[in-house]
Amino acid sequence: MDRESDKGARGHRDKEIRRLGDRKENSYIQSLFEKGGKVKGIENYQIKPVSRSSTKIVGIIAFLSWFAIPVSATTYEVGPGMSYENIGDVPLESLNPGDTVKIHHRTQPYREKWVIARTGTESQNIVFQGVPGTGGELPIIEGEDATTRLELNYWSEERGIINLGGSSYPNQIPDYVVIENLDIRSARLPYQFTDDQGQVREYANNASSIYVIEGSHITIRNCKIHNCGNGFFVSHSASDILVERCYIYDNGIEGSYYHHNNYTEAKGISFQYNHFGQLRDGCGGNNLKDRSCGTVIRYNWIECGNRQLDLVESDHPEIYNDPSYSKTFVYGNIIIEQTDEGNSQICHYGGDGSNTNQYRKGTLYFYNNTVISKRSGNTTLFRLSTNDEFCDARNNIVYVTTDGNRLAMLNTHGILNIRNNWFKTGWVESHQGGNYQGTIIDSGGMVTGDIPGFVDWGSEDFHLLENAPCVNAGGLLAAEVLPENNVIRQYIKHCQDEERPSDGIFDIGAFEFEQGGVETDSLAYVCPNPCRVFMGYNLVTFGDLNPGCVIEIYDMSGRMVHHSGDLSETAYHWDVNEVSAGVYFYIIGYLEESVKSKGKLVIIR
């Protein structure tokens, strides 16, 4: 059923991608003209045939352009009181390496959509950067009733709010592009938009906030992606994609298994420090569905969805013949089945089509994850599609809220090597009875019990207590994952990260207990932490406070750098505009109580 559910979406996707072969081969001169053959900015001027001599001249000009003096980078300021009121006022068709489009927060959303089809360089990316409001609010890019800059000319407009590639004008394949600090939403039926011809059209059901048709070295950072058919979509013509610190949630189509929070198929893709939340109500898609080679999923919080992870096959030889196709890395994540939602399988690895020759048939390296299932019935950790799929699972916590015999490791097939994991007592190999054909290899170091020793279950603080059975119970990582995919970071709620403490012995799970470290009060939260001032954040919020408390902040030398005074509200904002980068320590004292809580705060500039 899972493969059938994808046929509609994938068929439409492939139809759109085949249009890449129909790209207009515009000459240098023709690229200066708008649709209809008019010179941009000049009325009643028509394209005329180009002579051979003219073609030679154009070729010489193109050759000499390689030696031209580089154009200095330009920053386009967009927003109230800025040089450009709207995004569409910026000459998007002529962006150059190093150019930055700064989109400032305003009360009303930017109801605009556009294509990125210009190329940056490794040292000079083209950047679309949101500038948050004073309270950290991201600028909103609203797909509903969005308009398009008429100078642009690109296809698949109904598939995304921000498209990358697939364009006649401009017609470059995007490379080294960054999109960050934006709240991008509302691309699906019944929403409409105005296209690059000035015509009102409807979005496709599988439209996305960001639709990567082609391109390489694309970074999506610190964005909210929601209320779309597919939240984030990448096609097989893209490569080297990085998605980090994003909140991807509330996507999908009611009654459909075809549409997902994330649907990607690239040659090289990494997800890190993201929060993948629930899909829209009534939507049956997966949370993170991926058909890429070179897939790395690390240090994320992934909750809800039909399956939390659906890692299946590609139809494209440039992907399934790539050596990295047979190795997938999933580590340092918090993966949660919140309720009896959708499929009882947490992670699917292999394929979902009829051609098993294209299945991954490699190794899923699954380590130092914390997996939680709150289902009332059975939970299956892995569905490995065939006995040619292998999983090396070590240093993971897998906890179910029901009896341990409700937890199975495998569905029907696959070979699973387990080592130094914590499983609930009573776990079983499979729930499939006589249909089970898989194999489990116990390589030792296994720990079982009733509870793994979390700091605070109620607030979903899955750090470990000092006396937890998972402390110092981990083992060595597989040699194949080192050094590039060593576990050196850990997730901070939400969309933040920190260095993972190290005492020479791994703890089991996504979090390392730090002996003698600074404890964080579970009754209060501090966000963002780390606070990245260079990304536009200048306020640190202390929340869930009790009225009557006092906050004191100290630097590494023990010098007090800030005192809040007596607080009467449940939230407090510390302005860090003039605060130096570094590590700070806070103490929250309650005047009428002897309780004091403390924590660590990092400022990055």
For residues 349 and 409, the answer to whether their CB atoms sit within 8 Å is no
- Going by C-alpha positions, the residue among 464, 440, 335, 342 that lies closest to residue 387 is 440
Q: Exposed (0-12), middle (13-18) or buried (19+): which is 151, by Cβ within 10 Å?
A: middle
pLDDT for 590 equals 64
Give pLDDT, residue 323.
Answer: 97
Output the pLDDT for position 131.
97
The half-sphere exposure of 388 on its side-chain side, counting CA atoms within 13 A, is 10
Report the pLDDT value the prediction gives residue 24, as an integer from 0 to 100: 38
Query: In one letter, which amino acid is 239?
Result: S
If one counts the domains in the chain, the total is 1
Instruction: Give residues with Cβ within 8 angstroms of 569, minimum separation 6.
Output: 545, 547
Q: Rg (Cα) of the chain, in Å, rounded?
A: 26
Look at residue 519 in the predicted model and tell me its pLDDT. 43
Residue 362 amino acid letter: G
**DSSP conformation letters of 135-189:** T-PPPEEE-TTBEE-TT-EES-GGGEEEEES-EEES-PPPEEEEEES-EEEEEST
Residue 387 exposed, middle or buried by CB count within 10 Å (0-12, 13-18, 19+): middle
Give CA–CA dist 307/346, Å, rounded: 5
Instruction: Kindly state the tokens that stand for 405.
Output: 């015999």
Nearest alpha carbon to residue 602 among 512, 504, 533, 524: 533
Report in angstroms the alpha-carbon separations of 161 from 111, 112, 272, 395.
10, 8, 23, 40
**Does 532 fall in a domain?**
yes
> Is 398 a domain residue?
no
What pLDDT was estimated at residue 587?
86
Q: Which residues of the chain have pLDDT under 50?
A: 1-69, 517-522, 592-594
> 572-575 contacts: CB < 8 A, separation 24 or more?
572/541, 572/542, 572/545, 573/135, 573/539, 573/540, 573/541, 573/542, 574/539, 574/540, 574/541, 574/542, 575/538, 575/539
Instruction: Return the SS3 of 586.
Output: strand
The 3 state secondary structure assigned to 379-435 is EEEEEECCCCCEEEEECCEEEECCCHHHEEEECCECEEEEECCEEECCCEEECCHHH
For the chain, the residue count is 605
Which two three-digit tokens encode residue 475? 């083992």
Q: Is the peptide bond before 483 cis (omega within 30 degrees of 0)?
A: yes
Contact 312, 334 (CB under 8 A): no
- CATH number for position 562: 2.60.40.3080
Q: Which run of H or of E encompasses 8?
A: helix 2-18
How many whole angstroms separate alpha carbon 571 and alpha carbon 136?
14
Secondary structure (H, E, C), 235-251? EEEEEEEEEECCEEECC
Q: Which residues pair with 34 in a beta bridge?
A: none
**C-beta separation of 376 from 400 below 8 A:** no
Summarised one tens digit per residue, pLDDT across range 303-314 is 999 999 999 999
Which pLDDT score, from 0 to 100, does residue 60 have? Answer: 44
pLDDT of amino acid 70: 56
What pLDDT score does 549 carry? 85
Is 340 contained in some domain? no
Q: Report the distance separating Cα 276 and Cα 298, nearest Å.
A: 12
Angle at 163 between CA 161 and CA 166, to 5 degrees: 140
How far apart CA 256 and CA 342 sit, in angstroms, is 12
- Flag whether 539 is in a domain: yes
- pLDDT value of position 523: 53
605 class by beta-carbon count within 10 Å (0-12 exposed, 13-18 middle, 19+ buried): exposed
The pLDDT, as a whole number, for residue 363 is 98
> Is the Cα torsion angle 165, 168, 169, 172 positive or negative in sign?
positive
**Domain interval for residue 551:** 525-604
| 553 found inside a domain | yes
Residue 341 lies in a domain: no
**235 contact partners, CB below 8 Å, separation of at least 6:** 13, 16, 17, 212, 213, 214, 265, 266
Cα separation values, 547 from 360, 540, 575, 592, Å: 55, 18, 20, 10
- What's the pTM value of the predicted model, to 2 decimals? 0.79
In the numeric block, which tokens belong to residue 191? 């929403």
- Pairing mode, if any, of strands 572-575 and 496-499? unpaired
